[in-house]
Structure 1
Amino acid sequence: MPRVEEQGACRWLITGRVQGVGFRPFIYRLARELGLNGFVRNRSGTVEVVTEGDASSIEAFAVAVQQQAPSLARPTITSREKIPAGFHADFRILASSVSDADIHIPADYSVCARCYEEMQDLSNRRYRYPFINCTECGPRYSLIKAMPYDRAQTTMSEFTLCGACRAEYENPNDRRFHAEPLACVACGPALWYSEPGRAAIHGNENALADAVAQLRDGLIVAVKGVGGYHLMIDARNERAVARLRIRKHRPHKPFAVLFPVMDNLIALHKAVITDDLALSALSAPDRPIVILPKRRQSRLADCIAPGLSQLGAMLPYSPLHQLLLQDVGGALVTTSANISGEPVVTEPEEAETLLANVADGFLHHNRPILCPIDDSVVEPCATKTRAIRIGRGLAPLELQLPRPISSPTLATGAHLKNTLALAWDNRVVISPHIGDLDSRRSQAVFARTASELQRLYDVRAETVICDTHDGYASTRWAKGCGLSLQRVGHHQAHASALVGEWPEDTGSWLVFTWDGVGLGSDGTLWGGEALLGKPGQWRRAGSFRPFRLAGGDRVGREPWRSAAALCWTAGFDWNTSSMAKEAWQKGLNCHETSSAGRLFDAAAAMIGLTEMASFEGQAPMWLEAIADPDIPALPLPLHRDAERIWRTDWAPLIPFLMDGRQSPAARAGLFQASMALALVQQALRIRAEHGEINIGLAGGVFQNRLLVEQTLGLLDEQGFTVRLNEQVPCNDASISFGQIIEALYGDF
């Protein structure tokens, strides 16, 4: 940019994360410090600034905008133009204006350190106020009605500011200037507590006291948070956690634990193993659930994460959570208050209806949640933190496209772990986690999210993309929505989602897309593929020996079916009913697959870990948890089939997996190591033919941390450049983003 001469004036447009993060007060104070006149104001999604003054001050302003912005802000100066000077006597913050949309939705952020200190200060008027916030913290996305981000366009418009709050809100030098969720006990949201058969308890302290008493007594309390309700219970009470499992019909799926921040996180450190990377993730403004190794001895109930070596841990992100932890005096199991796989519950009446047979009591508040959003989940792996589920604090997740898309496009994603993606120009926004689309309620939230994304960003989709599987609810919705339709293969979307995160890496890619199952381009169920090429030009270069599975949709929850199929395919016995084998032999309700995920299911069943799973991914998770990482791999046969696809044969693993003379840990370790080696062997063969390639690991199987770290070590020894999904989950939550990237380059 050319330097401004002597005296002058500039008009700036600043985009990125600049609304809901205290950016206008920052600009105001910066301009005043530099002696500049002019104004700052919000537009629909950008910030407009006019500066008048000395050339050196204007240049200093340009530098400071980038280097000194609030910690939550991510500003980008997209336009700077000279304008005539002399029209402004001082610097002001003007009312927001509506303009052509360049909208960036702020995420929900955790309570900041300064608000936390005020909440603990007996002399402060917000002492123990459960909804304290400022411009650097508090809810955003969950309460936005429309942009620009002003109080009148949030659910906080229902609460009229008292005189003290109004003074803070209108003072540009106050850190609560235009903190849109601003409130206090005199004018803001409030708590109430209810139980069946009792009159509701109103008032923040009284409601909190009743909820805390119930939690201390081992009872289950549904608590309304930032993006929806959680079910909470004392994490140290074994019987209480077991009761929650029975009532929620969740016998094995792990629960997350909310740890207090007092006493230097002593409760956290006694329960899980942390390092700098983990602590950084735990304390980030998005405050996700972080998956960490469990300690063998802790005061937590054993049944929080049965059969697993890891635990989902998080720190309080709302003032209400902090007060609950402080008053209970220990960690709390904190799990989404929903029917398994469905979106989170947000309304008091809905919560008391849907959770009547689960919760003993309900801690409600009257701040409306317009956009439901679940907690984010991340995992430290191989020196990086990667997303497992994008939710509160991370979503809506905005990424830049490597080039503009031809028309505004809505991608509908997969059937499980669903997200949506909306793309226009060179931008793509991925929705928060919606969940599995098996129920009518999930499908209703899916449809509402599709509409809300377009409304909030003021973008109307002209094209819709869906998976090639006609059985997906997302596919059925796309086919019936009336937009121009494109279809993208499941595993091509996985591969393109990974490449889309690494646009700077040029050349050919070999992306291993290992997951449960997805419809392949040949009509079979893929799941253990190596796709060679780049977005829009993938071809299948590697896979596993195919096998025939019986049982349809039941296969994912019945690992014995995968074990039986492998045994029967390879000529081994499997102890099950003769009718099941006869049906398999006749091909009744059978589908051919190359799924790596089903190989992990089968291994868990053969070892004796589980033949029936109560949640998706249980068998592979238990397999990973017991695996001995020091067991050497069994090299597996690799051959090229008639279609010139390199196929790994899993059959030699079966005798080892079923050898009861070996410990389960040794057998699980051998299987994991052998799968990692098999991947590297395929990569070496394909590189030998096609030259240097970038390696990607995509698909839900690669949530297995041990598998990833073993594979990365072997690939590094062979000189490969390897990439993982980081911002976008490797599981089916990435499919919507991958559909966008695939369409961007594909020839449809």
Structure 2
Amino acid sequence: MTDARQTLAMLDAPGAPDAAGTDTAACRWLVEGRVQGVGFRPFVYRLARALGVRGFVQNRSGQVVVVGEGPRQMLARFARALLEQAPPLARPRIVSCAEIGMARHDEFAILASEDGDGAGAHLPPDCFCCDDCLRELNDPDERRYRYPFNNCTQCGPRYTLIARLPYDRANTSMAGFAMCAQCRAEYEDPGNRRFHAEPVACPACGPRLVCRMPGAADVPDTADALAACVRQLAAGGIVAVKGVGGYHLLADATDDAVLARLRERKRRPHKPVAVMFPPQGGWLERAVTLDAAARAALFDPVRPIVLAPMRAQSGLSAGIAPGLKELGAMLPYSPLHYLLLQHFGKPLVVTSANLSGEPVLTEAAEVEARLGEVADGFLHHDRPILRPADDSVLRVIAGKARPLRLGRGAAPVEWRLPFALRRPLLATGSQMKNTIALAWQDRAVISPHIGDLGSPRAQAVFEQAIADLLALYGVTAQAIACDAHPGYAGSRWAMAIGLPVLKVQHHRAHASALAAEHSDVETWLAFAWDGVGLGDDGTLWGGEGLLGRPGRWTRAATLRPFCLPGGEKAARAPWRSAAGACWEIGHPWRIEQHAAVHHAWRRQLNCPRTSAAGRLFDAAAALVGLLDEASHEGQGPMWLEAAACNETAAPVPLPLAKNAVGLWQLDWAPLVGALTDATQCAAWRAACFHSSLAHGLLAQARAVRRETGVRHVGLCGGVFQNRLLSEQAVSLLEDDGFEVRMPERLPCNDGALSFGQLVEAGSGQC
């Protein structure tokens, strides 16, 4: 890569003077990164005009070519400014710079985009509504006053409306909206902030709202439709509203009865819902406590959902996050959201308009058909959404805002691999929290969150996401990496497609994703703790310590295994994990109550053996008395953490010894007594569990260090979404001299598994 310093050094060399005796030169820069859909070309145009540089700028298949002629000193200033003064959303990289022959350009121009194969493309993300567009939204003298689809080069939808590259209007879902004369003039004016803002529109020529309430006439006028939606919300209604990446269900976040009705209709009794706060009224400050990292994440242009501690007396419904002490807070990111919140004046529940676990819905007819018994009304618009994008979710853990879900604004994620592939590789990810990933040469792209692949619609979106990535980047996959579990939908798809398949063990993929994020580390001890993943020995792993690096992981540590009565049923029935753990050590917990299950357990019927930390968390939640049955994935561990978060408890020492195959095995058996100790409150028992596991992890790390000298520890897998456990483990490890890393750009959960599969499988192709 040629950086600005190399460019300047080249320009320092003397050149031939022009007719006036000035030392002039001509240079050609090739710029990559996020340089399309973010106002980069008009920025280059204005910069060149201001400095008197002649030449042109042009989009070419994801790259931008810049040719400049002029005095060497001015070209040096120009080259430096290309990087230092780029628009806020741009992320340019100068990948080549060459001095070329003078073509004697008369001026500086923006040339029409040149089509290419797409492999060098960088898809722009969907971004929040910028300050300039918000100002227009609230100014009665502006022609876009209160227009819900206002945008410019620095904001608005991108990824969700791109049909193909290059990113030009004709290649987006805005192609069907002919620009009016005023919008066309802005679009074609290089000095205007809407110059080549591909979704540019106004009330005269752009998308429009329509409000539809069952039993009433449609409200087709945009302003009237918006008002009708607000009235329905104020009356206690639930409205499905089409946004940037799909539909949300909106409801009054302060009304207990509305929340209860929403949960009943959606069959979602406990799973927390996000809350979108109005910019006015002080609601956000009254509802949550924000440290610097959480506040920065909340106000980031991505505008994600950020998990933050709830305050007492917030005015919000207790039904927002049952059993928890955090809520998912978010700010409005589209003009439509701003307008709704301005006029409603209170926080709104904003939850994906889907059936449980499925991708968010994007089509009006489909949302009305599938959610007709959930929503009291629908606010549609006619700008097509070409691919769904759920909201991103972050949580501050160990001082940094870390993603739990990659979605709108944050994905697709683009990555430079630490090696070059011999052939393009597609990775199908996991069964839960699915993403897919594509890699070619040294580039990788990770899709937004798709979800649980257990439904036909999710599998259809999964296949669409694959087709989209291949088509958008013009890449043909020549091999597929998938999870080693043959029952995962992504693995079945990979086996049926007819390409060479590289099966990647689940926890090695977790460890490799983390290692690729921190490529400066040579040798790792990566603790991959999660629910379950098929291990090399046919058992269900999930509490593993892996030593090495991508392509060369060896299992060094594990947790004591136990049998799961009912197998997959245990994922939504924490009492089964509790029973399996207790019966493993001879504890008689609920044998009489579950005699038939105990009989099956004794005969080892549908009782797979597991070392999964996630199932141990489920067991603890049941033993503490928090819940027996879970209504959503991860409920037991989430409630267990919430119960423990304001309590301190000394750890129970857990035995550590080499097992029969030479692994440092941590024995959780002493925890059963502590967890069932009725003389202690539930909060103390939950806190004791977290503290004991954190100290046990430290003991395992120390044991491996004594043998190998390893000093870098990684924490990955869904269990480390638990802030309490993660922060205790990080503190203990760092105090003991370890350098600890956690994922920062990708989720620690299965959302990063597709990327880890690329890295693990690709390491053997270098």
Corresponding residue for residue 390 of structure 1: 406
Contact between 2:525 and 2:545, CA under 8 Å: does it hold in 1? Answer: yes
1:532 matches 2:547: yes
Shift of 1:659: 1.0
Contact between 1:631 and 1:669, CA under 8 Å: does it hold in 2? Answer: yes
For the residues of structure 1 that align with 2:311 and 2:728, how far apart are their CA atoms?
22
For the residues of structure 1 that align with 2:548 and 2:613, how far apart are their CA atoms?
21
SS for the counterpart of 1:622 is helix
Name whichever of 378-387 and 592-601 sits farther off. 378-387
Contact between 1:629 and 1:706, CA under 8 Å: does it hold in 2? Answer: no
Contact between 2:578 and 2:620, CA under 8 Å: does it hold in 1? Answer: yes
SS for the counterpart of 1:492 is helix
For the residues of structure 2 that align with 1:335 and 1:442, how far apart are their CA atoms?
17
1:543 matches 2:558: yes
1:3 matches 2:10: yes
Contact between 1:212 and 1:327, CA under 8 Å: does it hold in 2? Answer: yes
Corresponding residue for residue 629 of structure 2: 612
Deviations 1:460-506 (A, max 9, x none): 11111111101100000000111111110000001101001011222
For the residues of structure 2 that align with 1:267 and 1:296, how far apart are their CA atoms?
13
Deviations 1:348-370 (A, max 9, x none): 00110111111000000000000
SS for the counterpart of 1:157 is coil
Deviations 1:319-361 (A, max 9, x none): 0001000111110000000011101100100110111111000
Corresponding residue for residue 300 of structure 1: 316
- Which of 509, 513, 522 is equivalent to 2:528? 513
SS for the counterpart of 1:155 is coil
Shift of 1:3: 2.4
Equivalent positions of 1:672-687 (< 5 A) are 672-687=690-705
For the residues of structure 1 that align with 2:117 and 2:468, how far apart are their CA atoms?
18
Shift of 1:525: 0.2
Contact between 2:241 and 2:380, CA under 8 Å: does it hold in 1? Answer: yes
For the residues of structure 2 that align with 1:405 and 1:340, how far apart are their CA atoms?
37
Identity fraction in percent: 56
For the residues of structure 2 that align with 1:504 and 1:473, how far apart are their CA atoms?
34
Corresponding residue for residue 114 of structure 1: 132
Corresponding residue for residue 366 of structure 2: 350
Shift of 1:513: 0.5
SS for the counterpart of 1:364 is strand
Corresponding residue for residue 3 of structure 2: none
Contact between 2:419 and 2:763, CA under 8 Å: does it hold in 1? Answer: no
Deviations 1:56-101 (A, max 9, x none): 1111111101100000000001111122113310001111001353
Contact between 2:421 and 2:765, CA under 8 Å: does it hold in 1? Answer: no
Shift of 1:110: 0.2
Shift of 1:734: 1.0
For the residues of structure 2 that align with 1:115 and 1:569, how far apart are their CA atoms?
62
For the residues of structure 2 that align with 1:569 and 1:121, how far apart are their CA atoms?
68
Question: Quick one: which amino acid aligns to residue 569 of structure 1?
Answer: E
- Which of 567, 578, 582 is equivalent to 2:582? 567
Contact between 2:704 and 2:710, CA under 8 Å: does it hold in 1? Answer: no
Shift of 1:223: 0.2
Shift of 1:743: 1.1
Unmatched runs of 5 consecutive residues or more in structure 2: 1-5, 16-22
Contact between 2:230 and 2:340, CA under 8 Å: does it hold in 1? Answer: yes
Give the aligned length. Answer: 745
Deviations 1:112-134 (A, max 9, x none): 01110110001111000000001
Corresponding residue for residue 468 of structure 1: 484
Equivalent positions of 1:417-456 (< 5 A) are 417-456=433-472
Runs of 4+ in 1 over 4 A off after TM superposition: none
SS for the counterpart of 1:262 is coil
1:338 matches 2:349: no
Unmatched runs of 5 consecutive residues or more in structure 1: none
Equivalent positions of 1:248-263 (< 5 A) are 248-263=266-281
Deviations 1:606-641 (A, max 9, x none): 010000000010000000001044211111001101
1:489 matches 2:505: yes
Corresponding residue for residue 39 of structure 2: 22
SS for the counterpart of 1:98 is coil
Question: Quick one: which amino acid aligns to residue 119 of structure 1?
Answer: L
Contact between 2:402 and 2:747, CA under 8 Å: does it hold in 1? Answer: yes
Deviations 1:439-470 (A, max 9, x none): 01100110111111010111111111111101
Under a length normalisation based on structure 2, what TM-score does the superposition of the two structures give? 0.96
Equivalent positions of 1:304-315 (< 5 A) are 304-315=320-331
Contact between 2:186 and 2:194, CA under 8 Å: does it hold in 1? Answer: yes
For the residues of structure 1 that align with 2:711 and 2:492, how far apart are their CA atoms?
37
Corresponding residue for residue 724 of structure 1: 742
1:47 matches 2:41: no
Contact between 2:276 and 2:331, CA under 8 Å: does it hold in 1? Answer: yes
1:273 matches 2:280: no
- Which of 185, 204, 207 is equivalent to 2:225? 207
Shift of 1:404: 0.8
For the residues of structure 2 that align with 1:609 and 1:438, how far apart are their CA atoms?
27
For the residues of structure 1 that align with 2:230 and 2:333, how far apart are their CA atoms?
18
- Which of 587, 594, 602 is equivalent to 1:577? 594
For the residues of structure 1 that align with 2:558 and 2:366, how far apart are their CA atoms?
46
1:62 matches 2:79: yes
Deviations 1:129-160 (A, max 9, x none): 00000100000000001111111110111101
1:285 matches 2:301: yes
Shift of 1:296: 2.2
1:165 matches 2:172: no
- Which of 95, 98, 101 is equivalent to 1:81? 98
Under a length normalisation based on structure 1, what TM-score does the superposition of the two structures give? 0.99
Q: CA RMSD in A?
A: 1.0
Contact between 1:219 and 1:360, CA under 8 Å: does it hold in 2? Answer: yes
